Structure 1
């Protein structure tokens, strides 16, 4: 859990990092991400209803051939530190310099922009590592044209493998639709992964809640705060995504066919569900925090109750011991041969009587 906290905390800090572009003119192509060692690689899946071509390590010069092809092309660019190559792709597809700047500035807020011949969409892809369950975030940028969908991501590995399998095996309607439906399918994969993260988060919250009921401790509070920071980061990624998908669904761009709008409405509903889940989990965490404080207070009250009962029992015993410990000469009980056992019997009877009284009152 501490790893989760550190990763989410680092991701949050990235949102507020001072940009490396400070002082540069608008449209300056500067990669601001941290994955500077990832080489640029381009893969292209070109398809129609009958054929498909899956190419790896395509050159930037070869990408222009897919611009006006009759088939649908998904051009996926991995690694953004080669700004010159990104610039060449932008020139080939007439992408505005400000859009290229936003692609390279990897802490963008999810957004949608309609720019005449193409749509520009920025989203955040969230995923967790299978072994460590660390939360990671990556900016994915999409350029949608009449025949192409270009995606830009910082590192290799994403949540699109199922979409690639559907394309290769021709499952469903994806090969029969245009690039706008492909954009929907990729967005749907990102949002579906949000649900997976929410499921894992829900299990962790339930585990923290049960552990707090069993044995509240400071370590559990650290886990609680880690979950709160993680949910805050997820919320920052999902809330603006709702606006972007809503803009797609309500938009009148010719690049989005009427058939696709129905799927975009469904995707918008899924985004609302994720947001509702995030808000529910935030309320649950606040309730778990109150539960921890209540459990801690109850535990302290139990300890104080036991100590108070012990102190109360010893008050009359101390009184008896104090009276007969004064050693006055004219105390008749001091010289009686049964004084010692009688004193013990008296103190035992007082203790038993007080315990019986406390039990009747249900004080313990």
Structure 2
């Protein structure tokens, strides 16, 4: 769970608003991608400097600036200066341990979300920060657009017949959040497949590796729950139509996203219960297996206790012991031991201990 605390100590003793990256270092160069559009106009390009974005501050077009990478502190200082974003908000953008939230200001709103996807069978939680202004949205990602969930959204914007080309900042904000929420269902489908595979495996064999995999899945569900649960509060704020920049005409779309969010949360809680059940099943299976082993060893030991007693008695080195000179003593002793063992086996079977 270090993903939620790692690097926070870097900020110790610094004044509020100090810009410092808190999170995993990718080593990648910061990328800036711009989509500028309206009903009959479209422009898409990559730029190398935040200075090239200044001309999009006061246009009639709808502009989406996507910045990938959080390690270029100088760039983020310029973003705050050029677009009038408070230094505390810029600090939150660079801190990837933020809880999903929404904050409303006079000229913009600030939203933090968690984008989740699988990479090599490992759950990856990436923070996405969104600043919504009039006719302008700036998104900030940890890694890059090649691995995000906005590919379909970009294709919709490129389509001249798409509804999004005729709408403003409110609808684009909805579309961004909806893309992230819809991807949660993709994650849940993969989690469900894993749970079904684990259930089948537990019916046949319960190994330590299987237990480790189930436990890792449980940790991943905790990550997912922490990322999704606060989202309900964010969507609820937006669907009430009280955020001036978003507008009330988009509230019906946020109601739909809210329903999806509640469904995701319910499914996560269901899966958490199922995974807890899998762990209980594994522990019960391991306990039953150990009981069977102990049962076998106990029966085996019980059979040999009287046999050990007999051979122990006749193994004593006294000179005057009865039956020592008996000609058929060895054969008789074998008959007694075999008969005793057979009787005990029949008794155990009758009691259904075998």
Note whether the superposition's TM-score is higher than 0.5: yes
Aligned twin of 1:51:
41
Aligned twin of 1:314:
304
Question: In the aligned structure 2, how far is the partner of 1:29 from the partner of 1:320?
Answer: 84
CA contact (8 A) 1:42 1:57 kept: yes
1:295-314 deviation digits (Å, cap 9, x = unpaired): 22211211121112122222
Secondary structure of 2:12's aligned partner: coil
TM-score, normalised relative to structure 2: 0.88
Gaps of 5+ in 2: none
1:204 to 161, 180, 194: 194
CA contact (8 A) 2:241 2:250 kept: no
Question: Is 1:239 the equivalent of 2:229?
Answer: yes
When residues 297 and 115 of structure 1 are mapped into structure 2, their CA distance, relative to the original with a 3 A threshold, is same
Question: Is 1:279 the equivalent of 2:269?
Answer: yes
Question: In the aligned structure 1, how far is the partner of 2:140 from the partner of 2:209?
Answer: 40
Question: In the aligned structure 2, how far is the partner of 1:107 from the partner of 1:319?
Answer: 69
Question: In the aligned structure 2, how far is the partner of 1:275 from the partner of 1:73?
Answer: 32
Secondary structure of 1:100's aligned partner: helix
Aligned twin of 2:129:
141
Aligned twin of 2:173:
183
Equivalences for 1:93-242 in 2 at 5 Å? 93-129=83-119, 132-157=120-145, 158-170=148-160, 172-242=162-232
Alpha-carbon shift at residue 113 of structure 1 (Å): 0.8
1:260-315 deviation digits (Å, cap 9, x = unpaired): 21111121222222222222222223222222222222112111211121222223
Equivalences for 1:256-271 in 2 at 5 Å? 256-271=246-261
Question: In the aligned structure 1, how far is the partner of 2:340 from the partner of 2:96?
Answer: 76
When residues 199 and 36 of structure 1 are mapped into structure 2, their CA distance, relative to the original with a 3 A threshold, is closer
Question: In the aligned structure 2, how far is the partner of 1:296 from the partner of 1:183?
Answer: 50
Question: In the aligned structure 1, how far is the partner of 2:269 from the partner of 2:114?
Answer: 19
Aligned twin of 1:91:
81
CA contact (8 A) 1:38 1:154 kept: no
2:21 to 27, 31, 34: 31
Question: In the aligned structure 1, how far is the partner of 2:301 from the partner of 2:90?
Answer: 75
TM-score, normalised relative to structure 1: 0.86
Gaps of 5+ in 1: 1-8
Secondary structure of 1:20's aligned partner: helix
Question: In the aligned structure 1, how far is the partner of 2:310 from the partner of 2:200?
Answer: 48
Aligned twin of 2:282:
292
Secondary structure of 2:20's aligned partner: coil
Q: How many pairs are equivalent?
A: 351
Question: In the aligned structure 1, how far is the partner of 2:297 from the partner of 2:24?
Answer: 57
Alpha-carbon shift at residue 38 of structure 1 (Å): 2.9
1:126-165 deviation digits (Å, cap 9, x = unpaired): 2222xx2222222211111221111112221311111111
Question: In the aligned structure 2, how far is the partner of 1:297 from the partner of 1:43?
Answer: 56
When residues 302 and 46 of structure 1 are mapped into structure 2, their CA distance, relative to the original with a 3 A threshold, is same
Alpha-carbon shift at residue 216 of structure 1 (Å): 2.9
Alpha-carbon shift at residue 179 of structure 1 (Å): 1.9
CA contact (8 A) 1:63 1:89 kept: no
Name which structure has the greater RCO, CA cutoff 8 Å, separation 6+: 1
CA contact (8 A) 1:74 1:148 kept: yes
Secondary structure of 1:56's aligned partner: strand
Secondary structure of 2:10's aligned partner: coil
Question: In the aligned structure 2, how far is the partner of 1:46 from the partner of 1:35?
Answer: 30
When residues 26 and 316 of structure 1 are mapped into structure 2, their CA distance, relative to the original with a 3 A threshold, is closer
CA contact (8 A) 1:121 1:143 kept: yes
CA contact (8 A) 1:231 1:278 kept: yes
Question: In the aligned structure 2, how far is the partner of 1:177 from the partner of 1:95?
Answer: 24
Secondary structure of 1:142's aligned partner: strand
